[in-house]
Amino acid sequence: MHQRAFLDPSRKVKERRYTSDPTIVISVQDLDTSTSQVPCDIRGLLLVKVGSKVPEGTLIGTAYPDEILARKEQADSDDFSFEDSMDLDDSNNPEKTETTLPPPSAFNPSFLNLDPESGISLRNFQIQVAKWATVSDIILYLSDEAERDNLIAFAQLISEAQAAFRKLHPHIPRYVTCIVKDKIDAFLKEAPHIIAIPPKGIEFDENDLRLKNWDSNFLFHESVEMSMMSSASIIGNKSKNGGAVWLGNSADVDGHAQLVYEYLSAENLSSADVKQAQEVLLSRNWTLYVRCAAQNQFPSFSLLDQYIREALSDDLDSNEKAPSYSTLGNTWSGAMIDFPSSGTVSPYPNSEEDLYSIVNMCKLLYVRSQALHKGHGAGTLIFCNDGYTETSLLALAYIVYSTGVTASQAWADLHVKYNRPFFSFNIDSLAITTLQPILLKYSPAIAGSAYDEDYGAIYNRGDLSLLSTVNPWDDREEWFEKMDGSFPSRILPHMYLGSLVHANNPEMLQKIGIKRIISVGEYLTWAKYDNIDDDGNIMRGEDITTQEYSNPYPGITKIMHVDNIQDDGVDSLTDCLSKCIDFLDEGYRLNEPTLVHCRVGVSRSATVCIAEVMKRLGVGLARAYLFVRVRRLNVIIQPHLRFMFELVKWEEQHRRSGKGWLREVDWPILCREIAVMNRAYIPG
């Protein structure tokens, strides 16, 4: 109700009370919303740690005094604004991490008020800890005995802040402030399950504990999930010797190096582990590493020519020329080459040297996969930090070159045939399509090509002029022309998350195997709906409705349209969530993958996908949120606060019915961690 009021320019809203017949109104009341209304039926609990902000000695669900109390400089400054709060609260800023708190004297006995002066922000995740404190009993504890005096002082400040807040809002309950006199060691003895990070002096495996603890440090969990999702896999065809080109991330390089070290030193490995490590190393057999990054330039002709000639000697072990430098050491050395990132390469190269750098890089990847190393086919790893963005251009160019397919088919093959998550830009599709004639001219997969005309690298053949005489779009497929560069995101094998642009490209959906669509609040230009007249006018009702349409398009078996859902903080997804999940389950059972979309694919449809991951994988909201977030690749999901809270209640509902999962993260901490992650990608 109050969200509607904030969104209403008149700042007033009619509150309607209905009988069981929703068409009959029995009372109408004007509701003045000029002042914020604090709910009177919530009694939360918030743990506050006093002392050091280092992670050791921390309980789950922990906040800090500077997240909930107003600092004196805020009250003294006329220039303080809502945006400044993120700078003053360093816990929400990954670039500013205090290890100690300011003393109690730096704070006023009042809660932080971070609400905007007017209107409402639907994604104020960073203020939820402070808001939760106003409706919670608060328990303060110590991590360092030296902070005992500050414990009492902060408790006094918070107790006075509670009293002052209740004076402004007398309808709310009387909340209390408590202190725990025991040291953190007592918690470890009596309730170890609520320890997030043990106190200093207690030995523990930091990474192991972080993986088990989902209460905080979402950035760490995101990086782990990302590394797993984009771990190394083969693209293109394996050679007869078993050599291949792999696509992966930076963690693959680090993990491979660690495995090599352990194998060579046999450190902490049993004989069975040594054998398994050897099998892994030989199955990959990486001897070349191609690092893609935005700041990289094209490799020189001389370097590519050298490596191509070395690889064409068939046996890399017997080659007298050593790699440029070693990345792994000892006998498992590997050459490292830098290459430009996706999204940075012009569709029309500035020079023949740039043009042939792309073609020769593809040739090097191919000939290395045909060579032997340690008696096995040699492997190459193309990698970047996230494993799916900066490498896409080179990976797609290599598929065109090595398999002889068109650019559009390379996109489909990388996604479907090689089952690879990747994100590409619109400029990448133009670049590969433009370069396609040159890549195919020298392709080893096409009989009669110019592949064998040069023993080493290709140079100065006059092919740059060919780009101006050949129309790269002559053999294009219509779906590829309409695509914005990247496919919808595969969240689970039976569920994709995407945008309205994706949904309005049914030929593309068929190409990658999508057969069903859930449209959340948006209409498809190619579909026919019951509530659209012959002139194309939409006849909307007042309530949220769902309607299913069978066989709406050749190859698309069914659409579910959810009407009257906007991303405005007013409309609720709760009532239609179960129907969407049932629709997804039907597609799962029929082996018909479903695209879930709204307009951009970050809020309404992302909420549906998070709910499906929770139910399908049997995980809580925090894990499901990160699972979907990582697999949306370069697009950051942004369900607003109402949708996220609906997911919290949906999780709670399933837990009460015996079908759900224990809550791993409380609401204010969940919001804080989301804000931290968002700040890491969207600074300012």
Work out the pLDDT band at 82, boundaries 50, 70, 90.
Answer: very low
Using CA atoms, how far apart are residues 650 and 581, in angstroms rounded to an integer? 12
- Whether residue 529 contacts residue 564, with contact meaning beta carbons closer than 8 Å, is answered with no
pLDDT of residue 11: 41
CB under 8 Å to 519, separation ≥6 — which residues?
503, 559, 560, 561, 562, 597, 598
Q: Over pLDDT 70: what percentage of the chain?
A: 82
Q: Are residues 176 and 27 in the same domain?
A: no
Mean pLDDT of 398-417: 97
| CA 216 to mean position of chain CA atoms | 16
pLDDT of residue 530: 80
Using CA atoms, how far apart are residues 308 and 295, in angstroms rounded to an integer? 24
Q: Which of 186, 216, 246 is at the close of a domain?
A: 216
Q: Are residues 493 and 631 in the same domain?
A: yes
Residue 440 located in a structural domain: yes
Q: Are residues 451 and 523 in the same domain?
A: no
Whether the pLDDT of residue 328 is over 50: the answer is no
Residue 520 located in a structural domain: yes
Whether the pLDDT of residue 186 is over 50: the answer is yes
Q: Are residues 70 and 202 in the same domain?
A: yes
**95-102 long-range CB contacts below 8 Å, 24 or more apart?**
95/683, 97/53, 98/53, 99/52, 99/53, 99/54, 100/51, 100/52, 100/53, 101/50, 101/51, 101/52, 101/53, 101/64, 101/65, 101/66, 101/150, 102/66, 102/71
Whether the pLDDT of residue 514 is over 70: the answer is yes
Whether the pLDDT of residue 243 is over 90: the answer is yes
pLDDT of residue 183: 86
Helix, strand, coil content of the chain in percent (nearest 5):
40, 15, 40
Q: Which of 439, 459, 479 is at the close of a domain?
A: 459
CB under 8 Å to 601, separation ≥6 — which residues?
488, 489, 497, 498, 499, 502, 632, 635
Q: Are residues 274 and 175 in the same domain?
A: no
Residue 677 located in a structural domain: no
Whether the pLDDT of residue 35 is over 60: the answer is no
Least confident of 160-169, 228-237, 457-466: 457-466
Q: Which of 59, 13, 65 is nearest to 37 (CA)?
A: 13
Whether the pLDDT of residue 8 is over 70: the answer is no
Mean pLDDT of 527-546: 73
| CA 67 to mean position of chain CA atoms | 26
pLDDT of residue 283: 83
Whether the pLDDT of residue 210 is over 90: the answer is no
Number of domains in the chain: 4
Q: Are residues 196 and 301 in the same domain?
A: no
Query: Residue 292, CB half-sphere, CA atoms under 13 Å: how many?
Result: 25
Whether the pLDDT of residue 583 is over 80: the answer is yes
pLDDT of residue 16: 37
Whether the pLDDT of residue 515 is over 70: the answer is yes
Mean pLDDT of 242-257: 90
3-state secondary structure 113-143: CCCCCCCCCCCCHHHHHHHHHCCEEEEEEEC
Most confident of 91-105, 181-195, 268-282, 378-392: 378-392
Q: Are residues 423 and 321 in the same domain?
A: yes
Mean model confidence pLDDT for the chain: 84
Mean pLDDT of 575-584: 95
- Residue 334 belongs to domain with CATH number: 3.90.190.10
Residue 277 located in a structural domain: yes
Q: Are residues 252 and 357 in the same domain?
A: yes
Using CA atoms, how far apart are residues 684 and 681, in angstroms rounded to an integer? 10
Work out the pLDDT band at 506, boundaries 50, 70, 90.
Answer: very high
- Whether residue 529 contacts residue 523, with contact meaning beta carbons closer than 8 Å, is answered with yes
110 SS3 class: strand
- Whether residue 45 contacts residue 136, with contact meaning beta carbons closer than 8 Å, is answered with yes
Residue 583 located in a structural domain: yes
Express each pLDDT in 369-405 by its tens digit. Answer: 999 887 889 999 999 999 999 999 999 999 999 999 9
Q: Which of 188, 216, 244 is at the close of a domain?
A: 216
Per the structure, the complete domain to which residue 12 belongs is given by 2-32
Whether the pLDDT of residue 358 is over 60: the answer is yes
Express each pLDDT in 640-668 by its tens digit. Answer: 999 999 999 999 887 776 666 668 899 99
pLDDT of residue 199: 84
Residue 221 located in a structural domain: no
Least confident of 50-54, 91-95, 254-258, 521-525: 91-95
Whether the pLDDT of residue 542 is over 70: the answer is no
Task: Give CA separation, 139 vs 63, 109, 136, 223, 464, in Å.
Answer: 10, 16, 9, 32, 71
Q: Are residues 80 and 121 in the same domain?
A: yes
Strand 376-377 versus strand 372-373 pairing type: antiparallel
Question: pTM of this prediction?
Answer: 0.88
Q: Are residues 28 and 50 in the same domain?
A: no
| CA 137 to mean position of chain CA atoms | 34
Higher local confidence (pLDDT), 213 or 274: 213
Residue 152 located in a structural domain: yes
Residue 676 located in a structural domain: no
pLDDT of residue 271: 74
Express each pLDDT in 419-444 by its tens digit. Answer: 999 999 999 999 999 999 999 999 99
pLDDT of residue 591: 98
Q: Are residues 278 and 396 in the same domain?
A: yes
Q: Are residues 295 and 328 in the same domain?
A: yes
CA angle, 159 as apex, 156 and 161 as ends, to 5°? 110
